[in-house]
Structures are given as structure tokens and as C-alpha cells.
């Protein structure tokens, strides 16, 4: 399981020109689920993301979590994070979990973020989404488990 985490001032996602998720300050999280990923991995990454100290304190140091700043998360499924670009010029997606395996883990991850006290919005799984954001920093991390 792979997360691409971005610290944002705001983020939103639309599907078919309809706003389906929106946050103010917090985390935009793209999640890629690989074949064989488990709930234990989702638990670990939800806990890690909710406690990761990447927001600035009054001294300008990255010392606060999304919970500390009372921020939110916008979680977007992105199977392309499981892509393999090592061979040729066309990415391979053999490692990506099938939708029937990935969707429950995506939903579980989002529920775990909420359980850790992070208000969470979502995109719509397996749809063409348009994501808008104002990156804060920019600050971007990749978390894997």
C-alpha cells in the first residue's frame, strides 16, 4: 500500500462537474493499493498519516499533526501509484489490486483516519476525478507499508 501525502491549504474533488469532496487545511492523500495489501497495513498508514508532524508550529518547525491543527483529509484512490515504470515507456499495472480487493481497503483506510480523529472526505472509487489543491509548502511525502 502506498500513500502520496500532500500538505494543503485546501483541496477538492469533482466527478462529472459535481463537487463530491472538499477540505480546507489538511492532507490530500492519494492511496494506491497493491495486490495482497491488508487491513493491518491500512491501520498502520492511517495511524501514521494522522500523527505525522508535517504542519508548522509557531516557530515555523514541522512539529504539528493534522489532528493538532484540527485539519481534515481528502482521500483519493489512485491505482497508478501501483504502476511499474521500469520496463519500456508504458507503465504496467499488474501489481495494482483488483477493484473488488482495493475498494474495501480504500474505504477501510478512510474509516480508520476518521477513527483517529481526522475528519475525512473522499473521492468516488473507480471514477474519472478532477482534483484541485493549493499545496502548502510544497510539502509532499510518500508512505509505504
List, by residue number, the catalytic residues: 80
Sorted by sequence, the CB contacts under 8 Å of residue 3 that are 6+ apart come out as 29, 30, 31, 32, 45, 49, 142, 143, 144
DSSP state of 97: P
Going from the C-alpha of 5 to that of each of 32, 58, 88, 138, the distances in angstroms are 11, 22, 27, 11
Amino acid at each position: 500500500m502506498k500513500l502520496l501525502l500532500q500538505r494543503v491549504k485546501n483541496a477538492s474533488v469533482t466527478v462529472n462537474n459535481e463537487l463530491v469532496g472538499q477540505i480546507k487545511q489538511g492532507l490530500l492523500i492519494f492511496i494506491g493499493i497493491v495486490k495482497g495489501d491488508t487491513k493491518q497495513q491500512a491501520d498502520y498508514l492511517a495511524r501514521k498519516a494522522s500523527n505525522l508532524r508535517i504542519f508548522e508550529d509557531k516557530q515555523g518547525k514541522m512539529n504539528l499533526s493534522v489532528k493538532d491543527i484540527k485539519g481534515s483529509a481528502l482521500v483519493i484512490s489512485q491505482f497508478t501509484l501501483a504502476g511499474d515504470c521500469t520496463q519500456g515507456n508504458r507503465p504496467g499495472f499488474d501489481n495494482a489490486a483488483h477493484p473488488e480487493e482495493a475498494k474495501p481497503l480504500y474505504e477501510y483506510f478512510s474509516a480508520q483516519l476518521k477513527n483517529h480523529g481526522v475528519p475525512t472526505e473522499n473521492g468516488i472509487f473507480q471514477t474519472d476525478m478532477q482534483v484541485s489543491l493549493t499545496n502548502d509548502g510544497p510539502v509532499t511525502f510518500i508512505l509505504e507499508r
